[in-house]
Amino acid sequence: MKKIAIFVLTSFMICCQAQTNQEFNLGFEKQNDVNSLSDGWIKWGSYVLSIDSLSNSGEKSGKITSTINAQFGSIAYRIPANYDGNSIKLEGYMKIKNVENGFAGLLLRVDGNGKAQAFDNMQKQNISGTKDWQKYSIELKYPEEAENIYVAGILTGKGEAWFDDFELTIDGKSIQSLKETKKSVYKANLDKEFDSGSDVEIPELTPGLIDDLELLGRVWGFLKYYHPEIATGNYNWDYELFRFMPDYLKESKNIAREELILNWIKGLGEIEKCKKCKQTASDAYLKPDHKWIAASVNNDLLRNELLYIYENRNQGKHFYIRMAPRVGNPEFLNEDAYYNMSYPDDGFRILALFRYWNMINYFFPNKHLIDKDWNNTLKEYIPVFTNALNEFEYELAAIQIIGDIKDTHANLYGGNNKIEEWKGNYYAPVHLRFIEKKLVVTDYYNPELKSEAGLEIGDFITRINNRKVDNIVAELSKYYPASNKPTRLRNISADMLRSQKTELEVEYISEGRMATKMLRLYPVDSLNRFHWYKKSDEKCYKLLDNNIGYVTLMSIKDTDIPEIKSGFKDTKGFIIDIRNYPSSFVPFALGSFFVSTSTPFVKFTKGNMNNPGEFTFTKELVIPKSDETYEGKLIVLVNEFSQSQAEYTAMAFRAGNNTTIIGSTTAGADGNISSIPLPGGLSTVISGIGVYYPNGEETQRVGIVPDIVVKPTIEGIKNGKDEILEKAIELILNE
């Protein structure tokens, strides 16, 4: 018996030693810091991640636990894709408990050239419920452009999931023993000096120090996007900032600090004369703004050096930026989100500000539409980011500056755990919208909770916990990024009856009478909650009375379009409802049905990575003429729920021969998005291209302006009317 015990123990030790000696920690066994995830593992999403002793083998596994106010969680591990091959396979063990309203699975993603080249998360297998340890696998084609491989476990919905013993193979050979065939040529990727912290401590801010930090932020971003040595990946520019800052902060005089900057630049290497560098195009819609060099730099040598760098700037491939093929929106490359730093130190906080400000300064196509002067924003936010006392204040600082660019696409989509906690984990069972400047009950998430809620559709709320609704909105507005006011109110309304507690006191008006009640709140996963509009499984098209065709793009499929054209070609009128997000891309396939000749409907501005800050117009895109043209009247329905692709689609339909757009102003955020990671695992995006009508009229912030404005009324909501649809029918019948 003792011999057997010794044998088992020895086998166990050998197994564990084999796992811990592997190059990649795919069995979770290496964990130098018990307060963090196992070495190399990072957090995606907002669920709770932990290292658990309940394992398939060894002593540890990765665990994901759902939270009631988030959408997903993933525990991920990055491996440089320094290998050649044709296929890549991930195998691993997973155990799940009470997974509902979602799924659990392994995740394999291969990135390259700033985007996912191959991806699978087992969503289609719909693994849920409770299951003991089982082995699963994913196999994908291994892309030639592979730069990084991510292996992960993922959980959506409600429940718990454990992951262990991941094994990654390329062409059947284990990544643990596979010989690297292509090494990163970038020195920047080898710089690991500040992986555990920046070692930067910013002293108490004075007006002079704020000015000097502003100058440093401008110069750092200028060099990042213009200096050829940085563009070639010879420097980890985040970490070079951390190396430079201690000496810069110790110096007390502006003149000496400028001398330090000059020496810093000289140390980057000589820049050859640029024979390919072109002047900014005379017809550029937006041009680089370098007035700050003359206005802020006192040292003549530094000023001349910066101007020389611009005149001989990098051309072609860039370590930190590329423009998406065929579209032209910026793709920000090699930007580490530093996931393991949940509350970044002084250096990483100032890095977040410098990174974001410069990305907007050089690559946001709608910078000219920002309400405030972006040139003043860097200085404004230096104290805000520097003095953020905790993770929550850091997240608030980030969402405030994101809100300043006035882009509905922009928000915090990851790493905003503390903001979500602040907003609360509990929701009322009613859907709200601002109608006639009132916060109105428009729907029930769960009809069975109607009587318990005690609120009728059409009731409007005046106070929450004895605070006026208008005052709450004014306080929250700076934390809800949006292009325009209707869209901001759209987003705020979803959180007005949200709390950290399980009930709220509400004062409301019902049938002209004021009343007060305690309203019970529920965990989000117990409600059939929707943010903007309620989705339906009904067919996307139908024939209304009086021979009027109706199509909602919310559920349209490509295969529906031929049936719609043939079925509605002889109708008296045609209504297309885009008060939603289209489920398929239809501007050309369906838009061509409404034009008799090829018709321009949109043009774009895109940036120039060879001259960051320059934006020029593209050629107009055209809706092509189809074999048959609809002869009747087309009515398109839009409102603040029409965003991005919905707005683009409305522009395409507006090119039709007999189109009228009715409703209210849309979200004002169109065009392909560009992702921006920030330290601490924060994630945001921007509208990456400027979208214009052929005549040059803006759509960003403006949205799609209806030909006829029709808005819902409280009375209409109470009576179950769709007043916009009724107006569309009236217009067709009176044609």
Q: What is the pLDDT of residues 48-79, one digit of tens each?
A: 999 999 999 999 999 999 987 667 899 999 89
Q: Tokens 């709140």, residue?
A: 521
Strand locations in 36-103, DSSP E? Answer: 41-45, 48-52, 61-65, 72-80, 87-100
Q: Is the pLDDT of residue 427 over 90?
A: yes
- In Å, what is the CA distance from 120 to each residue of 61, 70, 100, 124, 342? 21, 21, 20, 9, 27
d(CA 589, CA 647): 16
- Tokens coding 346: 């002084």
Q: Mind listing the pLDDT tens digit for each residue in 497-526? A: 999 999 999 999 999 999 999 999 999 889
First-residue to last-residue Cα distance in the chain = 95
pLDDT at 553: 97
Residue 397 has a CB neighbour count (10 Å cut-off) of: 20
Looking at the chain, the whole-number percentage of residues with pLDDT higher than 70 is: 96
CA distance 315 to 605: 20
pLDDT tens figures, 668-682:
999 999 999 999 989
Query: Residues 251-280: what's their mean pLDDT?
Result: 94
Please say if the pLDDT value at position 486 is more than 70: yes
User: Which band of pLDDT confidence, cut at 50, 70 and 90, is reported for residue 36?
Assistant: confident
| Residue with tokens 């997973």, as numbered in its chain | 94
Whether 10 shows a pLDDT value over 90: the answer reads: no
DSSP character at residue 447: G
Nearest-angstrom CA–CA distance, 481 and 498:
18
For 23-174, CATH number? 2.60.120.260
Residue 6 banded pLDDT, cuts 50, 70, 90: very low
* Bridge-based pairing state of the strands 633-638 and 573-577: parallel
Q: What pTM was estimated for this model as a whole?
A: 0.83
> What DSSP element (H or E) covers 254?
helix 254-266
pLDDT tens, residue by residue, 220-237? 999 999 999 999 999 999
pLDDT in tens, 533-556: 888 878 999 999 999 999 999 999
Q: Is the pLDDT of residue 12 over 70?
A: no
Question: For 165-210, how does the pLDDT look when each residue is reduced to its tens digit (9 = 90+)?
Answer: 999 999 999 999 998 886 556 899 889 999 989 999 999 999 999 9
Q: Where are the alpha helices (DSSP H) in 640-734?
A: 645-654, 714-718, 723-733
**Would you say residue 446 has pLDDT above 50?**
yes
User: Tell me, what's the pLDDT at 680?
Assistant: 92
| Whether the predicted pLDDT of 687 surpasses 90 | yes
User: How far, in Å, CA of 13 to CA of 36, rounded?
Assistant: 24
| Structural element, H or E, at residue 231 | helix 228-231
Q: What CATH number should be reported for the domain whose range is 541-733?
A: 3.90.226.10
User: Are 23-174 and 541-733 equal in CATH topology?
Assistant: no
Q: What is the mean pLDDT of residues 545-568?
A: 95
Contacts for 375 with CB less than 8 Å, ≥ 6 apart: 289, 292
Q: Are 322 and 342 in contact (CB under 8 A)?
A: no
Over pLDDT 90: what percentage of the chain? 84
Identify the weakest region by mean pLDDT among 142-146, 178-182, 236-240, 287-291.
178-182
**pLDDT for res 70:** 64
Specify the DSSP class assigned to residue 414.
Answer: B
Instruction: Give the DSSP per-residue string, 264-310.
Output: HHHTT---PPPSS--PPPTT-SB----HHHHHH---HHHHHHHHHHH
For 420-526, give the CATH class: mainly beta
Helix (H, G, I), strand (E, B) or coil at 14: helix
Element (H or E) spanning 3, and its range? Answer: helix 2-20
- Where does the pLDDT of residue 21 fall: very low under 50, low under 70, confident under 90, or very high at 90 and above? low
The pLDDT value recorded for residue 534 is: 85
Asked whether the beta carbons of 486 and 640 are under 8 A apart, the reply is yes
Whether 302 has a pLDDT exceeding 70, the answer reads: yes
E strand map for 479-611:
498-499, 503-510, 513-520, 522-523, 541-544, 548-552, 573-577, 599-607
Q: What pLDDT, on the 0 to 100 scale, is given for residue 69?
A: 62
Categorise residue 546: left if φ over 0, alpha if ψ from -120 to 50, beta otherwise: left
Provide the mean pLDDT of the chain.
93
Backbone angles phi, psi at 66, to 5 degrees: -70, 155
Contacts of 683 (CB under 8 A, 6+ apart): 337, 412, 413, 414, 415, 675, 676, 677
* CA 458/CA 463 separation, integer angstroms: 16
Kindly give, in sequence order, each residue whose CB lies less than 8 Å from that of residue 190, ignoring residues fewer than 6 positions away.
Answer: 184
Distance CA 718, CA 163 (A): 50
- Domain map (residue ranges) of the chain: 23-174, 207-406, 420-526, 541-733
Using CA atoms, how far residue 734 sits from 129, 547, 661, in Å, is: 55, 14, 16
At 101 the pLDDT is 87
- Scan for tokens 């994101």, then name that residue: 402
Per-residue pLDDT averaged across 463-485, rounded? 97
Residues whose CB is less than 8 angstroms from the CB of residue 125 and which lie 6 or more positions away in sequence, other chains included: 103, 105
Residue 41 and residue 31: Cα distance in Å, rounded?
Answer: 10
pLDDT band at 148; cut points 50, 70, 90: confident
**H/E element, 331:** strand 330-332
Q: How confident is the model at residue 92 (pLDDT cuts 50, 70, 90)?
A: very high
Q: 657-668 pLDDT, tens per residue?
A: 999 999 999 999
Model confidence at 113, pLDDT cuts 50, 70, 90, reads low
| pLDDT-derived band at 163, boundaries 50, 70, 90 | very high
Give the Cβ contact number of residue 47 at 10 Å. Answer: 24
Alpha-carbon distances of 713 from 273, 495, 720, 724, rounded to whole Å: 65, 21, 11, 10
